[in-house]
């Protein structure tokens, strides 16, 4: 961390950047200045304009006004190719590989050298990538890493990472952080967007904070700065508390012994192996796993999206076989998938997206009661604090706001059990608190939640109990009191309790981390 301001000239200096979409002001007088060799955080609440700024800097969209200097020279960046020539390379918030092409063709399309790409992919913790695989069939987390490797392969001077780590489980996120840190050490600059404070404090030198499209401050990252940043981001203070879980004995009394969901010996090809667990009424059960341990398949099977090859699922004590998601929905089980592209009709309005399940069943195909629908939808929107300035089409919302729509849908539908797969991906600190509260509230209404998260912190914040999956098996189950990060990590790596594991740089910064200090 360089706290001493050397008289260094910025590598990238943008001032007065403005962008309006009709009546929506995405950016007004935003500025950003990045020094050589610096890892610079760009922070702000959902819809603050971070992604818009990144897209403008890299020529994907055109600003209405503003001045951009690169190495002191004013450049007019009109296209991504221009940006690339100037040494600016982005990893956007949404996966950028073309889904219908294989990885190799995608590389050719952008003229990315293949060997360096492969080297980076290995470096980033994916040893066995099949370069001939069609992008559509690659899981979201891996796609994100491939996007990063593709950018790294051309050795950019400024790397712009828009929520690169948001979909990544701990092991992959760590690799990314290591690589990014080394970029900085090698004299290259990185602009790093993340809603995870742990990462910011582990990685970044300075942070620029945006609020409502304007730059409201630039701060050095040092212990204790988190609260100041949050205050700048949101304009208010927030209480970052642990939402209290119910005591375990309380639970047992409440549900009279019969679990809401009971999974026994679930089998799915080679992905899931003999998975058994219960989900009680009024419980928030966490699922924790490293990348690709079968968690995707577990959720998809419980949601009726794919069919298990063996084992049983009981709902309220009665065995069920789901052959279509609508069967699961009938049984009161809703699924928020990890990849929002899988959940949203991007060209349709926020309202239609939230109300979609209402019309699904054959007997609901008739006239819609617009007034009532409007009421239900509005209350879900308010509950999740969705920024509705651009609500005509979901694709115009910021990433975090899109994510909120995927959750709002099932809140509006009043599902009894919600399977949340990484629901807070890309959601800002303020709304995250709101979502934690919401999940606890659902539990207190005797509803139940199965909650996978790639963010270890969240486990302790909301769950009653944690189920750890490794290699398609349930390797351990902790009550939340025992689920400290070291224990979780050990279990996630498949190590027995009490063993010592290498938990990487996140754990190393832990003691001094302001994120924890605040909790």
Partner 1 sequence: MTDTATMPQLVSFGRRLRRFMADRPLIPLIILLIILVAILQVLRPGIVNERWLANTAKFAIPLAILAGCQTMTMLTGGIDLSVGTVATMSAFIMATQIVNQDPTVAFLLAMMPAVLIGLVNGIGVGVFRVHPLIMTLGTSLIGTGFLQVYQRTVIASGARIPDFLNWLGTGVTYGFPNALLLFVPVAVLIVFMLNRTGFGRLLYAVGDNERAARLSGVRYWQVITALYVLSSLLAGITGLLYIGLIKAPSLSLAEPLVLPSVAAAVIGGTSIFGGRGGYTGTIIGALILTVLTTLLTILQMPEGGRRILFGLIVLFVTAAYLRIVEDR
Ligand X SMILES: Nc1ncnc2c1ncn2[C@@H]1O[C@H](COP(=O)(O)OP(=O)(O)OP(=O)(O)O)[C@@H](O)[C@H]1O
20 binds partner 1 (CB under 8 A): yes
Task: Print the binding letters for residues 352-391 with ligand X: x by CB under 6 A, - otherwise.
Answer: -----------------------------------x-xx-
Q: Which residue has the tokens 């959940």?
A: 343
Q: Are 239 and 432 in contact (CB under 8 A)?
A: no
Closest CA to 460 of 389, 394, 516, 417: 516
Cα angle 335, 340, 346; round to 5: 120
With contacts defined by CB under 8 A, name the span among 41-49, 342-350, 445-453, 509-517 that binds partner 1: 342-350
Q: Looking at 2, 8, 21, 370, which residue binds ligand X (CB under 6 A)?
A: 21
With contacts defined by CB under 8 A, name the span among 41-49, 274-282, 352-360, 440-448 that binds partner 1: 352-360
Residues 51-80 that bind ligand X (CB under 6 A): 51-52
Burial class (CB in 10 A: 0-12, 13-18, 19+), 448: buried
Q: Which is nearer to partner 1, 132 or 365 (CB)?
A: 365
Q: Are 92 and 52 in contact (CB under 8 A)?
A: no
345 binds partner 1 (CB under 8 A): yes
Phi, psi of 504 (to 5 degrees): 80, -170
Report the C-alpha gap between 5 and 2 in whole angstroms. Answer: 7
Rg (CA), the chain: 23
How many residues touch partner 1 under the rule CB under 8 A: the total is: 45
Decide which of Mg ion, ligand X, partner 1, none touches 61; Cβ closer than 5 to 8 Å per partner kind.
partner 1
- In the complex, the smallest distance separating the C-beta of residue 388 from ligand X, rounded to whole angstroms, is 9
Q: Which is nearer to Mg ion, 195 or 440 (CB)?
A: 195
Residues 353-412 that bind Mg ion (CB under 5 A): 398-399
Q: Looking at 105, 110, 112, 326, which residue binds partner 1 (CB under 8 A)?
A: 326
Q: Which residue has the tokens 């400290």?
A: 484
397 binds ligand X (CB under 6 A): yes
Contacts of 503 (CB under 8 A, 6+ apart): 485, 486, 489, 490
- In the complex, the smallest distance separating the C-beta of residue 121 from Mg ion, rounded to whole angstroms, is 25
C-alpha dihedral (399, 403, 405, 409), degrees to nearest 10: 160
Kindly state the helix (H) or strand (E) to which residue 431 belongs, with its residue range: helix 429-444
Q: Are 283 and 463 in contact (CB under 8 A)?
A: no
- In the complex, the smallest distance separating the C-beta of residue 27 from ligand X, rounded to whole angstroms, is 7
Decide which of Mg ion, partner 1, ligand X, none touches 346; Cβ closer than 5 to 8 Å per partner kind.
partner 1
Q: Which is nearer to ligand X, 234 or 501 (CB)?
A: 234
Q: Which is nearer to ligand X, 44 or 332 (CB)?
A: 44
93 binds Mg ion (CB under 5 A): yes
Q: Which is nearer to ligand X, 336 or 492 (CB)?
A: 336
Report the C-alpha gap between 14 and 27 in whole angstroms. Answer: 12
Strand order in the sheet with 24-34: 24-34, 12-21, 65-70, 73-74
Closest CA to 393 of 351, 443, 447: 351
Decide which of Mg ion, partner 1, ligand X, none touches 18; Cβ closer than 5 to 8 Å per partner kind.
partner 1
- In the complex, the smallest distance separating the C-beta of residue 368 from partner 1, rounded to whole angstroms, is 6
CA 96 to the chain's CA centroid: 16
Residues that bind partner 1 (CB under 8 A): 18, 20, 22-25, 28-29, 61, 64-65, 303, 305, 324-326, 329-330, 335, 337, 341-348, 352, 355-362, 364-368, 370, 389, 409
């Amino acid at each position: 961390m360089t706290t001493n301001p050397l008289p260094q000239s910025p590598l990238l200096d943008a001032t007065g950047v403005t962008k309006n979409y009709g009546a929506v002001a995405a950016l007004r007088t935003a500025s950003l200045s990045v020094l050589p060799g610096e890892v610079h955080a760009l922070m702000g609440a959902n819809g603050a304009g971070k992604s818009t700024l990144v897209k403008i800097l890299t020529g994907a969209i055109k600003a209405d006004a503003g001045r951009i200097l690169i190495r002191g020279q004013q450049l007019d960046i009109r296209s991504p190719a221009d940006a690339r020539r100037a040494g600016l390379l982005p990893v956007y918030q949404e996966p950028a590989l073309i889904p219908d092409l294989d990885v190799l063709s995608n590389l050719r399309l952008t003229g990315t050298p293949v060997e360096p790409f492969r080297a980076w992919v290995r470096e980033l913790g994916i040893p066995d990538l099949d370069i001939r695989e069609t992008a559509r069939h690659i899981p979201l987390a891996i796609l994100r890493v491939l996007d990063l490797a593709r950018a790294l392969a051309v050795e950019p001077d400024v790397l712009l990472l828009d929520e690169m780590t948001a979909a990544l489980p701990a092991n992959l996120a760590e690799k990314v952080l290591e690589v990014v840190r080394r970029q900085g050490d090698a004299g290259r600059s990185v602009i790093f967007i993340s809603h995870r404070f742990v990462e910011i404090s582990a990685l970044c030198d300075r942070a620029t904070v945006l609020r409502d499209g304007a730059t409201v401050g630039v701060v050095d990252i040092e212990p204790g700065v988190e609260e100041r940043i949050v205050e700048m981001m949101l304009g208010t203070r927030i209480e970052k508390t642990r939402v209290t879980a119910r005591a375990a004995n309380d639970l047992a009394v409440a549900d009279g012994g019969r679990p809401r969901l009971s999974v026994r010996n679930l089998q799915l090809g080679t992905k899931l192996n003999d998975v058994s667990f219960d989900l009680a009424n009024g419980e928030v059960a966490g699922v924790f796993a490293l990348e690709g341990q079968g968690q995707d398949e577990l959720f998809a099977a419980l949601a009726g999206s794919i069919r298990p090859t063996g084992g049983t699922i009981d709902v309220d004590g009665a065995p069920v076989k789901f052959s279509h998601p609508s069967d699961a929905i009938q049984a009161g089980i809703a699924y928020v998938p990890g990849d929002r592209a899988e959940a949203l009709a991007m060209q349709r309005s926020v309202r239609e997206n939230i109300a979609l399940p209402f019309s699904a069943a054959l007997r609901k195909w008739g006239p819609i009661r617009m007034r009532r629908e409007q009421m239900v939808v509005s209350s879900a929107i308010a509950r999740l604090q969705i920024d509705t300035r651009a609500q005509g089409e979901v694709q115009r919302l910021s990433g975090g706001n899109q994510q909120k729509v995927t959750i709002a849908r099932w809140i509006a539908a009043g599902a009894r059990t919600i399977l949340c797969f990484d629901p807070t991906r890309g959601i800002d600190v303020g709304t995250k608190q709101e979502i934690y509260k919401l999940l606890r509230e659902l539990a207190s209404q005797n509803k139940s939640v199965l909650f996978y998260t790639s963010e270890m912190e969240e486990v302790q914040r909301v769950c009653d109990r944690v189920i750890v999956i490794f290699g398609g098996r349930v390797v351990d189950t902790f009550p939340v009191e025992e689920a400290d990060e070291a224990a979780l990590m050990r279990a996630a790596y498949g190590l027995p309790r009490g063993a010592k594991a290498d938990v990487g740089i996140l754990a190393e910064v832990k003691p001094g981390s302001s994120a924890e200090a605040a909790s």
